[in-house]
């Protein structure tokens, strides 16, 4: 069968460098799960290294041409190819509440949505690793005070330890993307339950960063906080000045304020 023709609207940039593929597969610790789901396998450059590991490899791919290609070339993937859109897919159709790792050289056009979906399913995903455009991989791992620190950093790091691993040049893809790529890994914290309302935490973080240049006193106005609470010093800060722990504390205070 012919190679798959790259389709721009599906974010298809096929990795050509085998050693990068191997290094991405090796980001998995293989601890705490028996299954791995690869998002967007394309022609299987990363998949083949996953298949060498002592783990059940599943793939989910939106492009039917790639699905056909994988079926022809990888016998070991038989019955493990999910021909669907990851963003619309209910993980439990196949995984039924089990723990699984998620990996990929991801489609960059939906990077943030992939991370948000992982957070939604965090109870089942102890490990998540792979390649994004460099800025997104960095954002996930940045700490307070940095320009890239934002919603993704705080939400991901509230539940996961995140690690930026290595940078990948645009020249090892066909066709080359316009941006550099970065490989990162997220490992779920042993205790990842928050000591505050998770829903409110998400709201506070998102609302604060929607106006990242303003102090919290201004950006969080829409949450109708009491004047007494708004006197608290933390409201003098801008969102990038708060650590994850401080965002959790802030959420606790807002919760106690009775919103
Ligand atoms: N992993 C391959 C391909 C990377 S390109 C490689 O490294 O060469 C990104 C892949 O994600 C493409 O195969 C594309 O078809 C697939 N993809 C894009 N959107 C998707 C979605 N919503 N769900 C599942 N796969 C998707």
What confidence tens digit (pLDDT) does each residue in 103-150 have?
999 999 999 999 999 999 999 999 999 999 999 999 999 999 999 999
Q: Supply the mean pLDDT for the chain.
A: 97
Residue 76 CA, chain-centre distance (Å), reads 27
pLDDT tens by residue, 226-242: 999 999 999 999 999 99
Q: Please give the distance, rounded to the nearest whole angstrom, from the Cα atom of residue 104 to the centre of ligand 1.
A: 8
How far apart (Å, rounded) are the C-alpha atoms in residues 11 and 107?
5
Name the maximum alpha-carbon separation found in the chain.
69
The pLDDT of residue 1 is 75
Of ligand 1's atoms, which has the minimum distance to the CA of residue 88?
22
107 lines ligand 1 (CB under 6 A): yes
Tokens of residue 253, six digits: 């205070």
Going by CA atoms, what residue is nearest to atom 1 of ligand 1? 41
Q: What radius of gyration do the chain's Cα atoms show? A: 20
Check pLDDT > 80 for residue 258: no
Whether 84 and 91 have beta carbons less than 8 Å apart is answered as no
Rounded to 5 degrees, what angle do the CA atoms 144, 147, 148 make?
85
The label of the residue with tokens 């700490």 reads: 143
Which residues share a beta bridge with 133? 181
Which residues share a beta bridge with 37? 58, 102
How far apart (Å, rounded) are the C-alpha atoms in residues 192 and 137?
21
How far apart (Å, rounded) are the C-alpha atoms in residues 140 and 149?
8
The pLDDT of residue 184 is 98
In percent, the amount of the chain with pLDDT more than 90 equals: 98
87 lines ligand 1 (CB under 6 A): yes
Name the pTM for this structure. Answer: 0.96
pLDDT tens by residue, 49-85: 999 999 999 999 999 999 999 999 999 999 999 999 9
Instruction: Name 117's Cβ contacts closer than 8 Å, sequence gap at least 6.
Output: 86, 87
Question: Residues annotated as binding site?
Answer: 13, 15, 40, 61, 85, 105
Domains of the chain in start order, with CATH, are 8-188 (3.40.50.150), 198-256 (1.10.8.100)
The label of the residue with tokens 């609302």 reads: 207
115 lines ligand 1 (CB under 6 A): no
Cα-Cα-Cα-Cα torsion 153, 155, 160, 163, nearest 10 degrees, comes to -10
Check pLDDT > 90 for residue 259: no
Half-sphere exposure of 169 (CA within 13 A, CB side): 5
49's enclosing H/E stretch is helix 47-50
pLDDT tens by residue, 158-182: 999 999 999 999 999 999 999 999 9
109 lines ligand 1 (CB under 6 A): no
Check pLDDT > 90 for residue 2: no
Going by CA atoms, what residue is nearest to atom 8 of ligand 1? 14
Q: Please give the distance, rounded to the nearest whole angstrom, from the Cα atom of residue 92 to the centre of ligand 1.
A: 20
Whether 134 and 171 have beta carbons less than 8 Å apart is answered as no
The pLDDT of residue 96 is 96
Q: Please give the distance, rounded to the nearest whole angstrom, from the Cα atom of residue 46 to the centre of ligand 1.
A: 11
Check pLDDT > 90 for residue 216: yes
89 lines ligand 1 (CB under 6 A): no
The pLDDT of residue 117 is 98
For residues 174-192, average pLDDT: 97
154's enclosing H/E stretch is helix 151-159
Tokens of residue 220, six digits: 């969080």
């Amino acid at each position: 069968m012919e190679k798959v023709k790259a389709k721009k609207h599906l974010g298809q940039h096929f990795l050509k460098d085998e050693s990068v593929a191997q290094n991405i597969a090796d980001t998995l610790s293989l601890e705490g799960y028996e299954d791995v789901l690869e998002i967007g396998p394309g022609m299987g450059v990363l998949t083949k290294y996953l298949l060498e590991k002592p783990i059940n490899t599943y793939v989910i791919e939106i492009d039917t041409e790639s699905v056909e290609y994988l079926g022809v070339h990888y016998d070991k993937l038989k019955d493990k190819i999910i021909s669907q859109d990851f963003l619309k897919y209910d993980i439990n159709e196949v995984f039924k509440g089990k723990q699984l790792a998620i990996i990929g050289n991801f489609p960059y056009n939906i990077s943030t949505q992939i991370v948000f979906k992982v957070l939604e399913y965090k109870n089942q995903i102890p490990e998540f690793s792979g390649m994004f455009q460099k800025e997104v991989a960095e954002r996930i791992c940045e700490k307070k005070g940095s320009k890239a620190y934002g919603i993704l950093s705080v939400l991901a790091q509230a539940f996961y330890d995140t690690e930026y691993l290595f940078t990948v040049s645009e020249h090892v893809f066909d066709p080359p993307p316009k941006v550099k790529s970065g490989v990162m890994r997220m490992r779920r914290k042993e205790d990842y339950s928050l000591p505050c309302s998770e829903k409110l935490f998400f709201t506070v973080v998102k609302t604060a960063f929607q106006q990242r240049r303003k102090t919290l006193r201004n950006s969080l106005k829409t949450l109708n906080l009491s004047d007494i609470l708004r006197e608290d010093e933390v409201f003098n800060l801008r969102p990038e000045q708060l650590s994850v722990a401080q965002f959790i504390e802030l959420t606790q205070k807002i919760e106690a304020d009775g919103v």
